[in-house]
A and B are shown apart, each in its own frame.
Chain A
Amino acid sequence: MIPDALSYLRELARFSELEERELSLLSSMSTVHSFPTGEIIVERSKKSMGLLLLVQGQVVAIQRVGVAGVARHYELSSPSFIGPTRLGASTDGYFDFAAQSDCVVLVISRDDFQSVERANAVISRALVCSVYTEIGHAVGVAEDYLMRLYHEPGQTKKRLQELSLAV
């Protein structure tokens, strides 16, 4: 039997404080998508169908440079939002996100989530805050990656030199 969104959500430690009804609400706004290793989950040039929540597997942010260059940036493990969430003003994406392992992603309808935000109902408050916390987590991952580039300048220089040969 293929697990549904609710099954995946129940397994996530960071969502463990949510009650079953809140998980069910989030599940009702979501569809489950599987991606084999190597497949592109988010394309930079395309606006995603919703908020993409990685619930199984690992992804990596990829930047295509020049004709043949590829820079691999930060890695995201579940649970984590992948790519711009675009709840506020529409934001540009800069990277593709590729599956580093077999992945399962919940696509949460943006329209449905924004309706829940506006409604400010008791049932959904903790759920909405959990989503915001996950956005904060994704920011933290990107910040840590950027800082590592500068803490390891020799490694970064080497990467840039290798990339400049491939471009």
Chain B
Amino acid sequence: MAIPEKIDVEKLIQAVPLLAGVDVDGLSGILEGAKLYKISEGGHVYRAGDPCVGFYSLVSGTVHVGQSTDQGGTILLRKIRPGQSFGLSDFLQRARHRMEATLVEEGLVFRFDGNRFRERLQQGSPHALSVIRAISRQMESNLQALDERLSHIFENPESSIGEFERHIPNVTKELRLDDS
């Protein structure tokens, strides 16, 4: 369950690197509609298919972003630590969330209001532009991390096989006569 918390603006600037280029005066416009939530362990920030209403920064706790499997497990895309942001590419593409974001450790999640933020961008807010520029830099880092992970899986193919065997359903394993 997500419990709204009061926002301490000065602490927020320190906790959210996306706001690094923004002064306290400039924050009020960007923070319109924004919310700070306390979410308990196991709670979802969003689920796959949810409409994208904003983008998020983790203030405390740990978030796992990933997808559920048909077998009831979870594929981990990314671990989010305090100070990091998530839900970014979905926000920019105005898409529904493709992943789920779950607190694996109770924490505080800050959500920027997507519509209000876009309005600020369209109005030419330099602070909104500063934030979205920071978003673009984090996405560059995310893409690099993704490519690095893919590269690692395939550069030693034999040693990576086990990682995927774990995800093969047991019933399929029993039927596979050619598995050695």
Contact = CB atoms under 8 A, between A and B. Distances in A.
Interface of A: 61, 63, 65, 69, 71, 73, 84-89, 91-95, 117, 120, 122, 125, 128-129, 131-133, 135-140, 142-147, 149-151, 153-154, 156-157, 159-161, 163-164, 167
24 contacts: A84-B140, A84-B143, A85-B140, A86-B140, A88-B137, A93-B147, A129-B121, A135-B136, A136-B88, A138-B143, A140-B89, A140-B90, A143-B89, A143-B146, A145-B150, A147-B66, A147-B77, A151-B75, A153-B166, A153-B167, A156-B164, A159-B157, A160-B153, A160-B157
A146 B161 CA distance: 15
Nearest to A133: B92
Q: Which 4 pairs across A and B sit closest by C-beta, in order of nearness? A: A136-B92, A136-B89, A88-B137, A153-B167
B141 interface: yes
Nearest to B136: A132
What bracket does the count of chain B residues touching chain A fall in? Answer: 35 or more
A147 to B, nearest CB: 5
B10 interface: no
Interface of B: 66-67, 69, 75, 77, 88-93, 95, 98-99, 121, 124, 126, 129, 132-133, 135-137, 139-144, 146-151, 153-155, 157-158, 160-161, 164-168, 172
